[in-house]
Amino acid sequence: MAAEPPGQDEPAPAGSLRPTSVLPVTASLPKATSPPHPGTQFTGSAHSQATMLRPVWRQLMLPWVFVLLSASWIIFTFYFAYNCTVHDPPSPSLVFAKSSRTILLLSILSQGTIFLLGELSATVFEAVRWARCSSERGITAFSFLVLSRGTGLAGVIRLLWKTNAGWPALSMNGHCIWALQRLIQCIYN
C-alpha cells in the first residue's frame, strides 16, 4: 500500500478555499479526476460544495466586448466629425444636405461615445473588484464598496473623506486611489 503525502486526509479549515484539480472526497460528492474543460478549476473545502470556475477569458468577455465596441464607435465618430469638417470630404455620402442632420448625428455619436465609455469603466471596475476580492491578499471593505457599481457619487465622496476629531480629512487608505478614479467616472457620467 502506497503511503499518502502528509496532510492529504486532513480537512481544510472552515471557510478556506483550496484550488485543486480534484474535488475533495465526501459522501455526497463524487471524485473527479480532471475538470470538464481545460483551464477550469475546482474550488471548495470539505465542508462546502465545490464550485467550478469559468475560464478567465469567459470572466472578462464583457469588458473586452465593451473595449472593442467603444473603440470602433469612437473611431467612426472621429472619422465622421473629420469627414464633415474638411472642404473635400473623403466620404461624401456621410455628409448630409442639411447641416442640422449632420449636427444631430454627431450629437448622437458623441452621446453614444460617452455612454459606452461609462459602461466600459463600470465593467472594468467590476472586474477589478472581483479579481482583487478573490486574490490571496483580498480587498478592504472600503475598496469593495468604492468599486461597486451601486455606490453613487455621494457614497464615493463619503468613502473618500473620513472624519478626524470632527474635521473632514482626505483618507490615505488603500481605497483612496480607487475612490478618486470612481469619483471621476461618477462626475462624467
The reported pTM is 0.60
One-letter-per-residue 3-state SS of 126-185: HHHHHHHHCCCCCCCHHHHHHCCCCCCHHHHHHHHEEEECCEEEECCCCHHHHHHHHHHH
User: To which residue does cell 464583457 refer?
Assistant: 62
pLDDT tens for the 189 residues of the chain, in order? 455 444 444 555 554 444 444 434 344 444 444 445 555 555 555 445 667 777 878 888 889 999 999 999 999 999 999 999 999 999 988 888 898 999 999 999 999 999 999 899 889 888 888 888 888 888 877 778 888 888 888 887 777 776 445 445 555 555 666 677 777 777 766
Parse the chain into domains and list their residue ranges.
58-138, 140-189
Specify whether the CB–CB gap between 170 and 160 falls below 8 A: yes
